[in-house]
Structure 1
């Protein structure tokens, strides 16, 4: 079967690090084109790739089946809509869009065009969340009553990229790191009944939000999501508490570090954590409290493109496929969080 011929909309960190290696190494895909506005560097790594000067040329190329929209947040809606109208399948980087109305319009357009539309939630395939999910599903924690997910950094320096530091819709940590932890919480626990949010900025001179805390309300469960750029000593990224025990897990997936170092997913060691980063399970075994270090699952960002292939070629939509509706739900949460911040109240969903 002919591979899915794929084009990237940029070759910055997102294209070079998170997309190109996994597309290139998957035999079901052909990385055939990229939109490079100034620097022409993609061909150094992928000889034979076509470098286009503008987006219109990509959309007009009949040989391109799939477009990866990995451009600034505010452009996601326009570029995705144009690609769908051109008859392309589309992968959109997170956040899917900046408003729910835009997200719904794109979902409906994809159905009308009979094209596959997916959101690149690669952190579903981190070693950390895969391990947390396994521990919960195995039942050793009992009924989950409280969970906390962090994505913290320590960086007081403002980004040199203007689109990241200007206070306009679609910028700030809630649109940047927020989609990762929100999506993970929705994967683990589903949509909450209501939420409350605190969103602000803490870095000197920052114009955009760089801190948030969101509380999800479920009938018998509370989930806290937190992210900040002024956290020098991080707490466990995942703290899951149930009627039978607790599980604490640091953020330790090695894939981004390896990709930044120029390493590629070539063998079974890919995505395997340092054993020192194992999670701590404190539970009851035969009526006695026990503390156990839990082996982590291997991370695999390549699984995203495996799920996408099954959706495009085989009309199979299994766990590895990330539908557009998942991206829409994340934006529903973000919009509700800002409303909660502005109105200083719990928002029903």
Structure 2
């Protein structure tokens, strides 16, 4: 049986990422899109003519029996209220990052999820970036030896502010680059090396007229001895490597961004041949100063997130990303905010404390 999906939101997240990725998975069908914007409604009709268009979430909650999954890709402050309503209406839910503006709100959502017996699955799609999949393969395979330092960057040159909630300093909006790009970087570090035991952060607002963080550095100390150094910036006139991973046997360095986002923005989908593959000239280098060779990049596979969601809803597998992972990421972000504010190293909240 094909699972029917209702998508709440058709901005960049809904139109560029979720709708085409959902449509690329044979086990899922984009059954409805919720948007009250006439231009976005027209865009839905053009690209997804079989999807029902609903002008508000209230119309969705009145017909929950017609759907098997809700996907929330509305502005951040709406994530938790919409997810809670989905759960109380008897529907599992995928929630875009960040799941919540605070770890406490995410924990309240986890409690409701447990009571209702329905999953809340965070959309941490960057775990399926080709370059990150390559790092994960090299780390697991021992090619680098014992990993000592993990450097990861999402840097951009965007000196002009684009108005919107992502540039808001209101904590309820979870605006700024730490919650936006930082959610991905922190999640990737945790996925590889586990929850950090200590966090240090430098959080700056650099662009004229900006009120939300636009230039951030995090240093995470993991219990296994790995140190993660994470940079996220809208003010980088020249870009550093996407990843530099240093081990006691070799290192891996790769520049540039995974190509899936650009492909999705261009209207391509994972149904196309050679989806997610990067050309050889973009491959990273694996080795040492005196002996390094190009390392083929794993294909990017964003569609695997929603294939995993389908398996979870069928009872065949655990969620591809757990809500506990998202809560761990929010604990790190909150520790980073405190570290930057106090100028000190902070131990993030740990489960059971």
Structure 2, gaps ≥5 residues long: 349-353
Aligned to 2:276: 271
TM-score, normalised relative to structure 1: 0.95
The CA deviation string for residues 131-170 of structure 1, in whole angstroms up to 9 with x for no partner, is: 1111111212111111111000000111132x12221111
Which residue of structure 1 lines up, in the alignment, with residue 47 of structure 2? 45
- Superposition RMSD on alpha carbons, in Å? 1.3
Query: In the alignment, is the contact (CA less than 8 A) between 1:60 and 1:86 conserved in 2?
Result: no
Please give the secondary structure, in 1, of the residue aligned with 2:155: coil
Aligned to 2:351: none
In structure 1, what is the Cα distance between the partners aligned to 2:78 and 2:215? 24
Normalising by structure 2, what TM-score?
Answer: 0.94
**1:237 and 1:271 mapped to 2: Cα distance?**
17
- 1:314: how far off? 2.2
CA contact (8 A) 1:124 1:184 kept: yes
- Within 2, Cα distance between the matches of 1:311 and 1:204? 46
Pairing 1:25-44 to 2, within 5 Å after superposition: 25-39=24-38, 40-41=41-42, 42-44=44-46
What are the within-5 Å matches in structure 2 for residues 161-310 of structure 1? 161=164, 163-169=165-171, 170-219=174-223, 220-283=225-288, 289-310=290-311
Q: Is the contact made by 1:3 and 1:29 (CA closer than 8 Å) also made in structure 2?
A: yes
SS in 1 for 2:304: helix
Find the aligned partners of 1:168 and 1:274 in 2 and give their Cα distance: 42
- The aligned runs of 1:323-334 (5 Å cut-off) are 323-334=322-333
CA distance in structure 2 between the partners assigned to 1:152 and 1:305 by the alignment: 27
Counterpart of 1:23 in structure 2 is 22
1:221 Cα offset (Å): 2.2
- For residue 94 of structure 1, the aligned residue among 93, 97, 108 is 97
**Larger displacement relative to structure 2 (171-180 or 47-56):** 47-56
SS at 1:342's partner residue?
A: helix
Contact 2:193–2:226 (Cα < 8 Å) also in 1: no
1:152 corresponding residue in structure 2:
155
Is 2:77 aligned against 1:74?
yes
Equivalent residue, structure 2, for 1:132: 135
The unaligned stretches of length 5 or more in structure 1 are: none
Q: Take 1:69 and 1:263, find their aligned partners in 2: how far apart are those partners?
A: 22
Q: Cα deviation per residue 1:214-247 (whole Å; 9 max; x = unaligned)?
A: 1011352211111111112211111111111111
- Judge conservation of contact 1:141–1:283 (CA < 8 Å) in 2: no
State the number of aligned residues: 341
- Secondary structure of the structure 1 residue equivalent to 2:264: helix
Runs of 4+ in 1 over 6 A off after TM superposition: none
